[in-house]
Amino acid sequence: MEKIPILRMGEFLLVTIQVDMHDRLAMTLQEDLTTRINETGARGVLIDISSLEIVDSFIGRMLGNIAAMSRVLDAQTVVVGMQPAVAITLVELGMSLPGVRTALNVDAGMELLKQALNGHHSSNRHAFMNGHKAAKNVSRR
Amino acid sequence: MSVVDSETIPVASEPDMVVVRRRVREVAARTGLSLVDQTKLVTAASELARNTLIYGGGGTMLLESLNGPRLGVRLTFTDKGPGIPNLDLALRDGFTTGSGLGLGLSGSKRLVNEFEIESKVGVGTRVAVTRWK
């Protein structure tokens, strides 16, 4: 089955969408990404859509879903590289991708993810992880 | 207005949608539409093809190059599905009977210069959109 590869780079997952997305492929990516976040404990997801010639309401909704799902799994999502013509069309279509962080290119996107990771958000996670470990230790005793 | 060139493309499966987008892009580029206008037309085609597939149970797209008074591209999506009982409602932003966002019809209308829709319950739906150069 056709799949979009998900690369791991440290605490981040990277996805470059290079094929014309049909709806099922978009759904598969959504599922694969949430699984990988869960498996790897990734803190950020960077999705490069610079090769996408259109983003319609379905793909737009998928990007929103990925951002929301990863947020629930304590990871940030940044969508990078949207072509100007795609951005103009998307807004006219009525989608401004609420809840989805965007950056102009991969470098800016990585910077955004690193900043988010160094922000107050990470301390919450730390407390949670420690609490989690403590709970495990208790149960082992 | 005269039709310079036309072809009919089936819209019966998800892979067909990819073909629809590619062919609309090629014809729009050949007609000389700007990159933004090409993108708008291809996006509208993608929305309408999805409607044809999901709500119409499949159908066809007629892809026409127009000449006179201006150059343009017209897309006509036809299905023999259940039809749309209330067109005003269906054209409203956010209205959907499916699981989408309800932007297919209303959104694609904003992406083209001309938009016509005809639907008869039990007979089917025809949507024609045109983008002029």
pLDDT of A1: 65
pLDDT of A23: 87
Q: Which domains, from first to last, does chain B contain? A: 2-132 (3.30.565.10)
Q: Which residues in chain A are contacts of B47 at CB distance < 8 A?
A: 56-57, 93
CA distance B120 to B24: 27
CA distance A19 to B76: 26
Q: Which domains, from first to last, does chain A contain? A: 6-140 (3.30.750.24)
Task: Determine the distance in angstroms separating the CA of B41 from the nearest CA of chain A, rounded to an integer.
Answer: 9
At CB < 8 Å, which residues of chain A contact B?
20, 22-24, 53-58, 60-61, 83-86, 88-90, 92-95
Average pLDDT, chain B: 94
The share of chain B scoring above pLDDT 70, in percent, equals: 100
A56 with B110: Cβ contact below 8 A: no
Both tokens assigned to B39: 């993108």
Split at pLDDT 50, 70, 90, the class of B110 is very high
pLDDT digits (tens, 9 = 90+) for A12-55: 999 999 888 888 888 999 999 999 999 999 999 999 999 999 99
Task: Give yes or no for residue A75 having a pLDDT over 90.
Answer: yes
pLDDT of B130: 97
SS3 state of residue A79: strand
Using the Cβ of B28 and the Cβ atoms of chain A, whether some distance falls under 8 Å is answered with: no
Task: Give yes or no for residue B127 having a pLDDT over 90.
Answer: yes
B100 with A20: Cβ contact below 8 A: no
pLDDT digits (tens, 9 = 90+) for B54-87: 999 999 999 999 997 899 999 999 999 999 999 9
Listed residue (B40, B104, B113, B117) closest to B72, CA to CA:
B113
Which of A89, A92, A96, A100 is most worth mutating to test chain B (most B CB atoms within 10 A of its CB)?
A89
